[in-house]
Each structure stands twice: as C-alpha cells, then as structure tokens.
Amino acid sequence: DSGVTQTPKHLITATGQRVTLRCSPRSGDLSVYWYQQSLDQGLQFLIQYYNGEERAKGNILERFSAQQFPDLHSELNLSSLELGDSALYFCASSGSSRGPGTQETQYFGPGTRLLVL
Amino acid sequence: GQNIDQPTEMTATEGAIVQINCTYQTSGFNGLFWYQQHAGEAPTFLSYNVLDGLEEKGRFSSFLSRSKGYSYLLLKELQMKDSASYLCARTVDSSYKLIFGSGTRLLVRP
C-alpha cells in the first residue's frame, strides 16, 4: 500500500460525458502527478501540482483539467469523453522524505480504470 | 528529446539473473528511476539513481552511467513473482515529472 488513494476504482461511461477522478496523496506529500496509461502506450505524464499550484504540464488534452485543493487532494476532470480516452489513470505523489527513495520518489495510487463506451 | 529505450520483452528462468537495459537522452537529466508494474496494478518503486555507479538493494541492483545515458536493472535469484513489466523513467528539469519508457515485460519460467 503506497498511501496514495484514488477513487473510483472503475468507471464506465458514454462518449460525450464528463467524469471526475479523485486522488489523495500520501500524508506530508505536497506534489501530485497525474498519468494516463493506455493499452498500446506506456505511462504518459499529464500534469503536476505542487501545494495547490500547477507546476508542470505534459501532453494533456484541452478537454482535460485538474486542480489541487487546500487539503492537497487533487481532481482530474475529463470532459467530452471519446472512446480513445479509455485507459488507466494513475495519480502519484511525492515530497516527503519518508520511506525508501528520496523526496523526488513518486508513489503511485491504485489507479482508476476508465471505460468509455 | 527525452526518448527512453528499453527492450519490449525478455524471458528468463527461475533462479537465474537477468539484466534489463535502458538508454535515454541526457539533456536536462536529473535522475533515473526503475519501477515494477504487474498487469493492471500500480507501478511500485524499485530504485533511484542520480550518481554514476551501482546501487544494490537485496535481489535488485541498478546501475547508472550519466555520460553514456545508460542504466540497467539487475534482478538476481529470479522468482516467478518477478514476472512483471519493468519501467525505466527519468526526471526532467526541476519539476521532477517522470518520462517513462514503454516498459520491459519480463517472463520468468520454471
């Protein structure tokens, strides 16, 4: 158990819909990262927040947005969903020096499996 | 560019040793991570190298050569449960976002 929690575990929805994925980082971690993992692709970095502020952006679509709240949990919003958005969405956190690795080590949540029909 | 290259698949025998190589472009490099990922599960942290050399941690070791843009993960005394994907990832700049390779699927056979 990494200490990072994500909800929901599974999500099935239809094209054109909007969903929100939620992530709670490990206690003490200030950074939250979102990644997408499709069947035919590796883990793709989407976006990073640090203590409520956007820190880095990857190849995140304009239909996708995220935010980090004062209690440090984060939400990833996916709108106008397409079939190709079906994927595993992982959240990771870093920033505290607890556990193996360093402050830069990212610990991943269990992921949300999104299926768009 | 930030391309990371690693073999797609490898097969090894239980009890043996296997080395999984990873090459990356050196510009903007901060550090090199290895993660293990079983199918459908979250990646789990294995190792982090920021300086040249070998880091040993039980059955797993990781090596880094920054000048060559090269790393490897060494797995000893392979067990069936080591069958998984092994992901090489590098950090970029000060944000520490991770750029992942496509992963190496390791199959351990009896």
CB contact under 8 A, B41 and A110: yes
Partners of residue A105 in chain B, C-beta under 8 Å: 33, 45, 48
Burial class (CB within 10 angstroms; exposed 0-12, middle 13-18, buried 19+) of A21: buried
CB contact under 8 A, B45 and A56: no
Partners of residue B42 in chain A, C-beta under 8 Å: 2, 90, 108-111
Residue A49 has pLDDT above 50, yes or no: yes
The pLDDT-based confidence of A99 (bands split at 50, 70, 90) is low
Partners of residue B45 in chain A, C-beta under 8 Å: 100-101, 105-107
| Closest residue of chain A to B32, computed from CA coordinates | A105
B91-B70-B76-B41 Cα dihedral, nearest 10 degrees: 30
Tens-digit pLDDT profile for residues A62-91: 999 999 999 999 999 999 999 999 999 999
Residue A24 has pLDDT above 80, yes or no: yes
Return the pLDDT at A6: 98
Which phi-psi region, left, alpha or beta, contains residue B32 (left: φ > 0; alpha: ψ -120 to 50)?
beta
Among B2, B30, B49, B96, the strongest candidate for a mutation testing the A interface, having the largest count of A CBs within 10 A, is B96
Burial class (CB within 10 angstroms; exposed 0-12, middle 13-18, buried 19+) of A106: buried
Q: Which residues contact A42 (CB under 8 A, 6 or more apart)?
A: B87, B100, B101, B102, B103
Return the pLDDT at A25: 96
Residue A48 has pLDDT above 80, yes or no: yes
Cα distance between residue B85 and residue B81, in whole Å: 11
Question: Phi and psi (nearest 5°) for B95?
Answer: -80, -20
Cα distance between residue A31 and residue A58, in whole Å: 15
Mean pLDDT taken over chain A: 92
Tens-digit pLDDT profile for residues B71-94: 999 999 999 999 999 999 998 777
- The residues of chain B scoring below 70 in pLDDT are 1-2, 95
Return the pLDDT at B1: 43
